[in-house]
A and B are shown apart, each in its own frame.
Chain A
Amino acid sequence: MAGGGVVVMLILIAVFADVLSPYTYTKTNFGRLNEAPSRDYPLGTDQLGRDMLSRMIYGARVSMIVGLGAQVIVVLIGVPIGALSGYLGGRVDLFLTRFVDVMYAFPRLLFVILVMSALGAGLLNIFIAIGLTGWVGIARQTRAQVLSIKEKEFVEGARALGAGFRRLLFRHVLPNALTPIVVAVTFGIPEAIFTEAALSFIGVGINPPTPSWGQMVGEGQQYLRSSWHLCVFPSIAIAITMLSFTFLGDGVRDALDPKLK
C-alpha cells in the first residue's frame, strides 16, 4: 500500500512538474554554483547554479515517462509473441522460443548500451532500446500461461462450440493469462527506470539540458567529496522510486494471485 501511495505521488509530481517546481529546470544562476541546501534552494544548486529540487521534479517526469512508455513497448512486443508461441505450438513455438532464448542470453545492459550507441541518445531511443530488450521476460511468462490455459476445459468447451482462433485467444485465453503479465509489467517499470538512470549516468541516455536522475548522479559523482548534495539527492530519489515500485509489484501480485492468499 505504501508503495502504491508513493507511486501515485510520483506520478502526480511528474504530471504537475510545471506547477510544482520553484524554478524552470534550465534556469541558471552563475553566481551561486554548487551551493549546499538553503532557503532559496531547498536541495541546493548544481554545477550551473540550477535548482536541484526543480531538476529532480522534472527528472521524475522523465523517469515516469520512461518507466511507463517502455513497458507499453515491452507489452506490445512480448505478449503477442508469447501468446502466438504458446497457442500455436509446434514449429512456430520452437522457433520463437529459441529466438527468445537467444535474446535472453545477451547481457541486458550491454545490449541496451549497444543499441543506444547505434541510435544515439534521446528519449525515444531509450524507449526503443529498453523495449527491444525487455520483451523477452514477458513473452516467456505469456507463453507459459497460454500453454497451461489452452488445455483447460473451458477453452476446450469454447472450441467445441465453434469459437475461432481469434475469439479463443482474445476472449478466453489471454484474459485469463493477464495476472502474471500485470505483475511482470509492474516489476518491469522500475527496471526500465533504473536502466534509463544507468544509461544517463554513463552519458548515453538523455541529452542535456533535460534533467534525468541518472544523469544528475553521473555529473555529480566527480564532486562527491566537495558537493555531496549533487549526487546524494537524485540517488535517494532513484532508490525510493525503485523500492516503491517493487512494493507495488509485490502488492499487485498478492492481490491478484489467489494461490498466495
Chain B
Amino acid sequence: MNTPRVSDRQLALLEHRLAAGGLGRRDFLRIAAGLATMSAAGFNARSVSAAPKLGPGEKLAREQHLRWGGGGNWQQDPASHDFNKDLYCTGVPALFAGLMRFNADFQAVPDIAEKISTNADGSVWTFVVRKDSRWSDNGPCTARDFEWSWKRQLDPATAAPYASFLYDIKNGEAFNKKQITDAREVGVRTKDDWTLEVTLEGPRGYFPVLAAYLAAFPAHRAAVEKYGDKWTEAANIVSNGAFALEAWEHNKFMVLRKNKHYWRAKDTTLEKVTIPIIPIAAGAIPYDNNELDMTLLQVADLRRFQSNPKTEKEAFRFPYPGTWYLLPQVTKPPFDNIKVRRAVAHAVDRENVVKVSQGFAIPAHSMIPPGFPGAVDDPKIRAIQKFDPKLAMAQLKGTPFDGGRNWPRIVLSMRDEALGAKSLAEAVQAVLLEHLNMKTELEVLEQRVFRERLWKQDLQFVWIRWFMDYPDPHNEYFDTFYGKKTTGKRQAWVNDAFDKELEGGRDTRDQKKRLAHYAKAEELMQTDVGYVPVAWVSRWAAAKNHVRGVEKNKQGEFVIDGNIYRDMLSNIYITEKA
C-alpha cells in the first residue's frame, strides 16, 4: 500500500488531538518525527525481532526473571493499569498491546494488526487483526474488542479524562459530548471479527500513530463489566500484551508474568518481571543490594558506579536531549552591554564546567545536541563563543568593567531541580570569577517563583535548560527564543533577523533549506549573545551484566521504556555462565 501524505494541516490537527488528550508537545512531535522519517514501507514496516545473542561461555539463564525499577521509575503506586480509560494511570504499559506499537526510533509499526490499509485520502482506515491475537485468558482478542474499547473511552458514562484523544473518529466528539446518544453512529465498526474499519472526521494520514499510542490500548470487556474500576487488580485483570499481571501488592511491588498467549510470545524470552515501588530517594541502593537487576541512576549514584571498575561497565547512557545555557538578560545591567555578554560567552570554560556533572552533561556549542536533526557542527559557529580567557577580558576594554573591575551585584538564578543543576551553576560561577573577576551570587528559586519571574524577564542572569520536546529545530529555536512569542518567553532578547530565519524555517518545506535557516539563526543568536550554550544533558541507567537485549536506536544509543517506546521488556533476556 502507499502511505497517504500527512499534510502540515493534518500534523497541526494531530498535535491538537494529543494536546487535548493531555499529551505534551514533547511527546507529540517525537511521534511526528517518527511519521516524517517513516520508511517507504509505510505503516506496514516490520521491525526485526532481536533474537538473544549469547557470548562464549554463556547461556540463557534458567530463570528469566528481571527486577526493574528505582531511581525514579514507579516511585508511587499506579492508579490502575486501565490505559483505555486514563492514559496517565501510570500503570505498566507492557501489559497491553495496541493495533500498532512504536519501535526504538519512535516509528509506528504493526502489532496486533497484521495489515493496515486506507482509502485514497486517508479518511477511512482498515485494520486487519491477527487471528492469533489472544487475551491472557486465551480468549481471542478481536476487532470487536477494539471497537468496544474505543467506544468505551468515548462513552460519556465512562468519564475518561482524555477521551478527546479519539476525537478524530467520526462522531467521536459528538458522542463524547452527548450531542448524539447512539454509539452506532461513531465511526468505528467491525466488518467481521478480524476487520476493524475506522471512519474519521476527515483525512488523517497519521491515524496509525494514534493507534500506536497507549491511549488506544484495548480493555477486556468481560472483566470491566464484572469488576468495574477494580478490573485491573491482579486478581481480576485480563490483558493482551507481552506480559500479564501476576501480583500487585499496592505500594509494594508488581509482578509480571510472560503472557504466553501474546502473538509474539515466542520472541519474548523474559518469563517474569518484578517491579518494586520505591521512592527516588533510595537511589541505587536496592540495585547495589542485588534487589534490582536494572535501574535508573541519579548523579551521586553514577559517580559511585564509575569509581568502581566492576560497576563502571554496568552504567549506560540513554538519550534525553536537553541543553543547559546561560541567559544574560539584555534589559538588565551589566548585560545590556553586548561587550559584557561577549566577554561572558568567551569566559565559559565548557570543558571544565561539565566535569562537575560527572557524566550528566557534555560541552555544548549550540542549541541542538549531536545526532538530532538540525545539530550544527560548523567551525564558524563554534568559533563565535569559543572559550578564550584573553579574548574574554579583551571584550571589556572600553566598558566600565575594564580589567574585571566595578562589577555591580550580579545574581545568577536557577530553579530547584535535580540532574546536578546546582553543581554546574557553581562551576559556571567559578569560571566567570576566574576569567572575568565577575563575582556572582547563586540564587536557587522554587519552581513556581522561578517561572513567574522568568516569564516576566525579571531575572538578571539565568541558569536554565531546555529539554527537547520533539526532534526538530523548530522546537529548539522557535518554541524557545522566538521574539514574538507571547507566553512563556524566557528572555528579553529580541532580534528581528533571527526571527525572520525562524519564520523561514517554519514556512519552508525543503528540509535542507530549513536547516540552513536554523543554522543562520544559531549564528545570529550567538553573535548577538542572546544566550550562551554551556552543556548538553545526558542521562544514565544501569543493568547488571546478565541483563541483555536492551534495544538501540539509529544513533546507536540504548532506549529505555517510556510512554512512547515500551518494548524494552519484550527484548530483554537474562544470561548466566554456561
Contacts and interface: CB of A to CB of B under 8 A. Distances in A.
Contact of A225 (B304, B416, B423): B304
B303 A208 contact: no
A30 B430 CA distance: 10
A203 B426 contact: no
A21 interface: no
A33 B355 contact: yes
Contacts of A26: 430, 433-434
Given A203-B444, A208-B442, A209-B442, A48 B304 contact: no
A13 B109 CA distance: 69
Q: Which of B358, B423, B426 has the most CB of A within 10 A?
A: B426
Interface string B415-457: 0100000110111011101100000011110000000000000
B356 interface: yes
B33 interface: no
B416 A209 contact: no
Interface in B385-442: 411, 416, 422-423, 425-427, 429-431, 433-434, 441-442
Contact of A30 (B355, B425, B444): B355
Contacts of B303: 34, 223, 226-227
A207 B425 CA distance: 12
Q: Is the interface of A mostly helix, strand, loop or mixed?
A: loop
A209 B304 contact: no
Interface string A216-236: 000100110111000000000
A228 to B, nearest CB: 12
Given A207-B443, A222-B299, A226-B304, A30 B352 contact: yes
B429 to A, nearest CB: 6
A35 to B, nearest CB: 11
A4 interface: no
A175 to B, nearest CB: 43
Nearest to A222: B300
Contacts of A50: 430
Given A28-B434, A30-B427, A219-B422, A48 B300 contact: no
Contacts of A122: 441
A47 interface: yes
A26 B431 CA distance: 10
A121 interface: yes
Given A209-B433, A226-B300, A121 B443 contact: yes
Contacts of A207: 411, 441-443
Given A34-B303, A225-B304, A226-B307, A48 B430 contact: yes
B345 to A, nearest CB: 19
Interface in A22-42: 26, 28, 30-31, 33-34
Contacts of A208: 422, 425-426, 429, 441-442
A120 B443 contact: yes
A48 B426 contact: yes
B439 to A, nearest CB: 8
B356 A47 contact: yes
Contacts of A223: 300, 303
Contacts of B353: 30
Q: Which of A31, A121, A122, A225 has the most CB of B within 10 A?
A: A225
A48 B443 contact: no
Contact of B416 (A120, A121, A203): A203
A209 B431 CA distance: 12
Given A33-B356, A47-B356, A209 B427 contact: no
A172 B429 CA distance: 55
Interface in A41-83: 47-50
B335 to A, nearest CB: 19
A198 to B, nearest CB: 16
A47 B442 contact: no
Contacts of A47: 356, 423, 426
Interface string B255-267: 0000000000000
A120 B427 CA distance: 22
Contact of B430 (A120, A209, A225): A209
A46 to B, nearest CB: 9
A227 B423 CA distance: 15
A209 B425 CA distance: 10
Sorted nearest first, the 3 A-B pairs with minimum C-beta distance are A30-B352, A226-B304, A28-B430
Given A26-B434, A50-B430, A203-B416, 13 more contacts: A30-B349, A30-B353, A31-B355, A33-B356, A48-B356, A49-B356, A207-B411, A208-B422, A208-B425, A208-B429, A209-B429, A209-B442, A223-B303
24 contacts: A28-B352, A28-B430, A28-B434, A30-B356, A31-B355, A48-B356, A48-B423, A48-B426, A49-B356, A50-B430, A121-B443, A122-B441, A203-B444, A207-B442, A207-B443, A208-B425, A209-B433, A219-B422, A219-B423, A222-B299, A222-B300, A223-B300, A226-B300, A226-B307
